[in-house]
Amino acid sequence: MSIDDRVADKKNGGFFRKALKIGLYGGLAAATGGLSYGLVGISGPLTGAAFSAGSAILNALGKNPDKKSRGLEGLLKDFSVGSLTGIAGVWGYEAAASYFPTPGIERALFGLAVANPIFDATYLASDYVIKNDFNTKGIGKYIQDNFWPVFRDSTLWLGLPVALTINGYGIPATVGGLNLRGYPTIVGADAAFRVVAGLAESKAAGKSPSYNAIPAASYA
């Protein structure tokens, strides 16, 4: 059977469409990873990798609220979302260090009250746009419905790590004489954020009987 015949075959149509989408989102992942690396260094792509890891954990737990985050295509999308969100994260930390040169409670509070909400909002916006195939219809309601649950839970569970890392504390790691400069902390914290945010969105979508249901976001 020729390639043209395979494409025309209905049984193969879904495969080729899926392969095309994976190729497109692979290109998007490379582009967003490159953009974030150019703007904020390796921390940007590392956040993308961490988001993919966090999404994989949600999938394994059966708690991922977004069916479009499953499989290779979903992991590529999460990498793009994380890479873009990582830009906001690094800029927030740099702003905290600029406004409060001496590490302390003021810098920690700035991280929790200013940098963290911006990080959350950037995550929700980029997550909706990318996973909705760049259709922004309904994004306002999505952010409105999910911002508070994500902000609340990420602050509750990750507030202390944010306060520590924004003050320059992290897990020291040296591999083969190479100082990783706290990057394991970045990956761990951002993967944990993706898990916490996903669980918060699940509750907001009414998937937990212990939570007052908020209408779920509608991905096209």
β-sheet bridge partners, residue 174: 179
Residue 68: DSSP 8-state: G
Percent of the chain topping pLDDT 70 = 80
pTM above 0.85, yes or no: no
Rounded Cα gap, residues 75 and 157, in angstroms: 24
Task: Note the pLDDT of residue 25.
Answer: 92
Tokens 């990956």: give the residue: 187
> How far does Cα 70 stand from its chain's mean position?
14
Using the predicted structure, report yes or no on whether residue 195 has a pLDDT greater than 70: yes
Tokens 């956040």: give the residue: 47
Rounded Cα gap, residues 33 and 193, in angstroms: 19
